[in-house]
Chain A
Amino acid sequence: MTAGRAPLEAGRFRALAEAYGGDISRWPEAERASAEAWLARNPREGAAELEAARALDDLLETWRTPEPAEALRNRVLIPAPAQVRQARRRAFVLTLGGGAGLAAACLAGILVAPVLLSTPTAGPAPSPSSQIEETAPSAALIPSDEVLAEVLADWEPPLADAEADIGV
């Protein structure tokens, strides 16, 4: 890539128009000023390049896609609060939520196990390629007392889980 401050050559101006189209405001930020300067020095040549690129831009603009339907909006919105709550709890458990979480876990370590086992399995399973987007939880973002209360409120005694598993 051409350095931002270097004078632009005709070939680079053409290459930018061919890649990014005929609107200089959509070109790489670092090269816009040089491109404008080159255009001021070479108005006829520059205008011809931009016009040719703009013709294709205008054509591309004719392809418009439908707006999302209301049903799709609902499919996104309805599960959202539960998904956020679940993510907060999982992050809290994974990071032990700082001191409060650690203390609680020490006092009742077994309480956390059912939550750990059940929380990540809800919802659609992530696809292989999308794993790269997952980033590690940041404990600093999770208000520990509030989430700890949510975790404890959801907790059910392990014995009940064991009984359910064996069909009692």
Chain B
Amino acid sequence: MLRPVTDALSLASGAGVARPAASSARPDDPDADLVRRIGKGDDLAIRALTARKLPRLTALAARILGDPAEAEDVAQESLIRAWRQAPVWRFGEARFDTWLHRVAVNLCRDRLRRRRPGDAADLDALVDPGPAPDRGLEARDVGDRVAAAMATLPPRQREALVLCHYQDLGNIEAAQVLGVSIEALESLLSRGRRALRAALSDLVP
């Protein structure tokens, strides 16, 4: 049986998860300095981490939940937990960004579980309304199609794709966030991409 990627993110779960293997520990955490300073009450570091993480967390939650208002709530709650975590963060066991993604994904899962059948995503609000200089109306239409296709994926496949493609997490980090093995992550990604390719077959050569 394949074991999930073990990590420092689940040490307190009481599920008997082992400490991370040396190969998966990430002492080279690019957020470490900011987290250390936040732990000491540095307001500038709080602002810097907010600028760095808020867009990422909002986009993550928007793509998983399909609801921009809920996505904002998830991003806000995730960062509030970051403020509480910073003073007690154990450096070297996991990347802070990976932990933050795990918090946000779990908050998204809680919200998805509470949803009633028929709650639909507001796809119009999900897509950036202003076309970038190199994008026209057609690009926005295609973006709508992609959003709609992603919304039809099973939640785990959607999470895997969002983490690896949009959030640019490595396979080890994404597997840690989802609490699955690398093999399971790859399977989720492959199945998700196959389903998207089928749903968007008129747009993919």
A and B interact physically: yes
- A149 nearest CB across to chain B (Å): 13
**A63 vs B182: C-alpha distance when bound (angstroms):** 26
Size class of the A contact interface (CB-based, 8 Å)? 35 or more
Q: Which of A129, A132, A137, A143 has the most CB of B within 10 A?
A: A132
What B residues does A135 contact at CB under 8 A?
Answer: 8, 11-12, 85, 88-90
Q: Flag whether B31 is at the interface (Cβ < 8 A).
A: no
- A137 nearest CB across to chain B (Å): 4
Binding site for A on B (CB under 8 A): 8-13, 15, 38-41, 43, 46-47, 50, 54-55, 58-59, 62-63, 68, 71-72, 75-77, 79-81, 83-90, 99, 102-103, 106-107, 109-110, 126-129, 132, 135, 139-140, 142-143, 146-147, 150, 161, 164-166, 168, 170-172, 182-183, 186, 189-190, 193-194, 196-197, 200, 203-205
What B residues does A81 contact at CB under 8 A?
Answer: 41, 43, 46
Q: Are B107 and A76 in contact (CB under 8 A)?
A: no
**A29 vs B54: C-alpha distance when bound (angstroms):** 27
- Knowing A68-B75, A84-B46, the reply to whether A138 touches B90 (Cβ < 8 A) is yes
**Interface of chain B, main secondary structure:** helix
How many residue pairs link A and B with beta carbons under 8 A? The number is: 194
Q: Are B72 and A72 in contact (CB under 8 A)?
A: yes
Binding site for B on A (CB under 8 A): 1, 15, 18-21, 26, 28-29, 52-53, 55-57, 59-60, 62-69, 72-73, 75-77, 79-81, 83-88, 91, 123-124, 126-138, 141-143
What A residues does B147 contact at CB under 8 A?
Answer: 63
**A84 vs B39: C-alpha distance when bound (angstroms):** 7
Q: Are A66 and B146 in contact (CB under 8 A)?
A: no
- Knowing A75-B76, A87-B83, the reply to whether A65 touches B59 (Cβ < 8 A) is yes
- Knowing A75-B76, A83-B80, the reply to whether A66 touches B165 (Cβ < 8 A) is no
- Knowing A59-B146, A65-B63, A84-B86, the reply to whether A130 touches B193 (Cβ < 8 A) is no
What A residues does B59 contact at CB under 8 A?
Answer: 65
Q: Which of A57, A63, A127 is within 8 Å of B110, CB to CB?
A: A127
**A79 vs B189: C-alpha distance when bound (angstroms):** 37
What A residues does B168 contact at CB under 8 A?
Answer: 26
- A65 nearest CB across to chain B (Å): 4
Using CB atoms, name the residue of chain B closest to A137: B88
- Knowing A79-B80, A133-B102, the reply to whether A88 touches B8 (Cβ < 8 A) is no
- A88 nearest CB across to chain B (Å): 5
Q: Are B171 and A28 in contact (CB under 8 A)?
A: yes
What A residues does B83 contact at CB under 8 A?
Answer: 79-80, 83-84, 87
